[in-house]
Structure 1
Amino acid sequence: MNDHYLLLASLGFATLLMAWLPSISDKIKVSSPVILLPIGILLYLIGTPLGWTELLWSDNAMMIFSEAIVIISLMGAGLKIGSNYSFKAWKRPLLLIAITMPLTMLSAYLLGVYFLTLSIPASLLLAAVLAPTDPVLASDVQLDDPEREDKLKDKIRFSLTAEAGLNDGMAFPFTYLAVMVVQAGSLAAFSFSDWFWDKLLLKIVIGVAVGILLGRSIGYILTHLKKWKGIKTYDGFLALSLTFAVYGLSELVHGYGFIAVFFTGLSIRYSENVSGKYKKKIHDFSHEIERLLIVVWIILFGGTIMNGILEMTDWKGILFSVVFVLIIRPLAGMIALIGIKDSLKNKLAISFLGIRGVGSIFYLSWAFMQTDLFKNKYELYSIAVYIILFSIILHGLTAPSIISYFRKNPKRHGLDDV
Structure 2
Amino acid sequence: MKDHYIVLAGLGFATLIMAWLPSIAKKLKVSSPIILLLIGLAMHAVAIPLGWPDPLWNDRELMYFSEAIVIISLMGAGLKIGAKYTLKAWRKPLLLVFITMPICMISAYLMGSYFLVLSLPSSLLLAAILAPTDPVLAAEVQLDDPLAEKSPEDNVRFTLTAEAGLNDGIAFPFSYMAVLVAQAGSWAAFDLTGWVLDEFLLKIALGILIGLGIGRLIGYLFDRLHHVTGVKTFVGFLSLSLTIMTYGLSELLHGYGFLAVFFAGFSLRYYEKVSGDYKKKLHDFITEIEHLLLVVWIILFGGSIMNGVLGLTDWKGIIFALIFVVLIRPLAGMVPLIFLKKEKIKEKLAISYLGIRGIGSVFYLSWAFLQFDHFDYKQELYAITAYIILFSIILHGLTAPSIIAYFRGKAERSSDLEDKNEN
TM-score (norm 2): 0.96
Alignment of 1:1-400 (within 5 A): 1-53=1-53, 56-150=56-150, 152=152, 154-340=154-340, 341-400=342-401
Q: Which residue in the other structure is 2:421 paired with?
A: none
Which segment is superposed worse, 23-32 or 160-169? 23-32
Structure 2 CA distance for partners of 1:56 and 1:416, relative to 1, 3 Å: farther
Once residues 153 and 316 of structure 2 are traced to their aligned partners in structure 1, the CA distance between those partners, rounded to angstroms, is: 42
Cα separation, 1, equivalents of 2:56 and 2:285: 29
Q: 1:264 to 1:150 in 2, by over 3 A?
A: farther
What displacement does 1:34 show?
0.5
Separation (CA, whole Å) in 1 of partners of 2:284 and 2:119: 44
CA contact (8 A) 1:346 1:413 kept: no
Deviation at 1:410, TM superposition (A): 2.2
**Distance in structure 2 (CA, Å) of the matches to 1:203 and 1:67:** 18
- Cα offset for 1:412? 8.1
How far has the Cα of 1:413 moved from its partner?
8.5
| Distance (Å, rounded) in 2 between the aligned partners of 1:416 and 1:97 | 34
Report the AA paired with residue 391 of structure 1.
Answer: S
Tell me which amino acid in the other structure corresponds to 2:358. G
| Aligned-partner SS, 1:254 | coil
What letter is aligned with 2:229? K
Distance apart, 1:55 and its partner CA: 7.7
Q: Distance in 2 between matches of 1:173 and 1:251?
A: 14
Task: Give the deviation of 1:63 after TM superposition.
Answer: 0.2
Q: Structure 1, residues 312-331: CA drift from partner, whole Å, max 9, x if none? A: 11000000000000000000
Cα distance in structure 2, aligned partners of 1:252 and 1:401: 42
Change in CA separation of 1:86 and 1:114 when aligned onto 2, cut-off 3 Å: same
The one-letter code sitting in structure 2 at the alignment partner of 1:358 is: I
Structure 1 residue runs of 5 or longer lacking an equivalent are none
Letter in 2 for 1:347: K
Are the aligned partners of 1:343 and 1:413 in contact in 2 as well (CA < 8 Å)? no
Distance 1:321 1:413 in 2: 38
TM-superposed deviation, 1:416: 11
Per-residue CA deviation, residues 35-82 of structure 1 (Å, 9 max, x unaligned), is 110110111111122211368230001000000000000000000000
Q: For 2:95, what is the secondary structure of its paired residue?
A: helix
Q: Which runs of 5+ in 2 are unaligned?
A: 419-423
Distance 1:108 1:412, change over 3 A: farther
- Percent of counterpart pairs with the same letter? 65
Deviates more, 1:387-396 or 1:21-30: 21-30
Give the distance between the partners of 2:242 and 2:358, measured in 1 at CA.
24
**1:405 matched to 2:406:** yes
For normalisation by structure 1, the TM-score amounts to 0.97
Distance 1:415 1:136 in 2: 31
Contact 2:153 2:407 in 1 (8 A): no
1:153: Cα distance to partner? 5.6
Deviates more, 1:305-314 or 1:150-159: 150-159
Higher alpha-carbon deviation: 109-118 or 153-162: 153-162
CA offset digits 1:271-316 (Å, max 9, x no partner)? 1111000000000001000011101111011111111110111000
Structure 1: how far apart are the matches of 2:321 and 2:55?
Answer: 23
- Greater displacement, 50-59 / 287-296: 50-59
Structure 1 residues 150 and 268, CA gap change in structure 2 (3 angstroms): farther
Distance in 2 (alpha carbons) for counterparts of 1:319 and 1:413: 42
Preserved CA contact (<8 Å) 1:207 1:259: yes
Which 4+ runs in 1 deviate beyond 3 A? 149-153, 411-417
Q: Secondary structure of the equivalent of 2:306?
A: coil
Does the aligned pair in 2 maintain the 1:109–1:123 contact within 8 Å?
yes
User: Which amino acid letter does the alignment assign opposite residue 339 of structure 1?
Assistant: F
Q: Is the 8 A contact 1:153 1:416 kept in 2?
A: no
Distance 1:404 1:194, change over 3 A: same
2:240–2:286 contact (8 Å) kept in structure 1: yes
Note if contact 1:84-1:150 (Cα within 8 Å) is conserved in structure 2.
no
Q: For residue 176 of structure 1, what is the amino acid of its counterpart?
A: Y
Quick one: structure 1 residues 415 and 349, their matched pair in 2 at CA, closer, same or farther if it must change by over 3 Å?
A: farther
Letter in 1 for 2:378: K
What is the distance in 2 between the residues matched to 1:105 and 1:389? 20
Instruction: Tell me the distance in 2 between the aligned counterparts of 1:289 and 1:3.
Output: 26
Q: Distance in 2 between matches of 1:203 and 1:195?
A: 10
Following the alignment from structure 2 to structure 1, what is the Cα–Cα distance between the partners of residues 406 and 73?
Answer: 25
